[in-house]
Amino acid sequence: MILVVDVGNTNITFGVYEGEKLLTTFRMTTKIPRTSDEYGIVIKEMLGSSQIQVESIHGSIIASVVPNVMHALENALVRYIKSTPLIIGPGIKTGIHIATENPREIGADRIVDLVAGYEKYGGPVLVLDYGTATTYDLITEDGRFIAGVTAPGIRISAKALWQDAAKLPEIEIKKPKTIMAAETTSSMQAGLVYGQIGQAEYIIAQFKKETGYKNLRVVATGGLGRIIADGTDAIEIYDPFLTLDGLRLIYERNQKVKSK
């Protein structure tokens, strides 16, 4: 079994794979400062709640966009899981070519999504990730990442509304039954969700127009991605475990390189 870890700005998501099978997932918030001991104890407890023995974990891998948690988290895996994690970064074999102007600026989470999107669905593919930010990343039929768009995430937009407008309340983010909102909560929900749907449809259309890829596949992932994917035919597939699958694929790819 391997432990895969996706460190995002909002949550840290863990997954355990046995071969290609995802056995369990669990999350903890990123923004609470923790020591390596606190990380280690929580991870062991979470694994135990899924009847997974620490001794059965023989490898681990981390993709992180939050550098300040990495020291404690890495030490936790070494000390409590007895695994020195592979870290997504320079020198890691991914199987894709980053053909942008500044490859080192591309976040680890985006690289992982692209690996999984290309491996699972082929190219050309446009991968949408609805995380803290909403990202749209294009990989060609021959495995080259050539362009990406970054937009404010749904939660960022929602937080801006209720923090910067004194009379607007904090709301649940969900798609209202109709865009014809008649009160404040549903009007905010309509603006957030239908606004994201409209953004997705326009950006996807522009990618197709500017690339000429009429056969471009469109795959979405991320916590709130299902709400958007369910609201438009422009998104073909919603894959909630795309990032975790990408981590597994990269881990396996690098193990094969080591064994040669």
DSSP of 156-174, one letter per residue? Answer: HHHHHHHHHSTTPPP----
Q: Which residues pair with 147 in a beta bridge?
A: 138
Separation between Cα atoms, residue 177 and residue 198, nearest integer Å = 16
Query: Measuring CA to CA, which residue among 87, 77, 86, 84 is closest to residue 36?
Result: 77
Q: How many CB atoms are closer than 10 A to CB 214? A: 7
Query: Measuring CA to CA, which residue among 25, 34, 26 is closest to residue 71?
Result: 34
In this structure, which amino acid lies at residue 203?
I
* Side-chain-facing half-sphere of 81: CA atoms under 13 Å: 33
The residue annotated as part of the active site, out of 6, 109, 129, 239, is: 109
Angle at 159 between CA 155 and CA 164, to 5 degrees: 155
Token output for 181: 């909102």
Check: CB of residue 154 under 8 Å from CB of residue 224: yes
Burial string for 86-97 (b: 16+ CB within 10 Å, else e) reads: bbbeeebebebe
164 a catalytic residue? no
Q: Which residues are catalytic?
A: 109
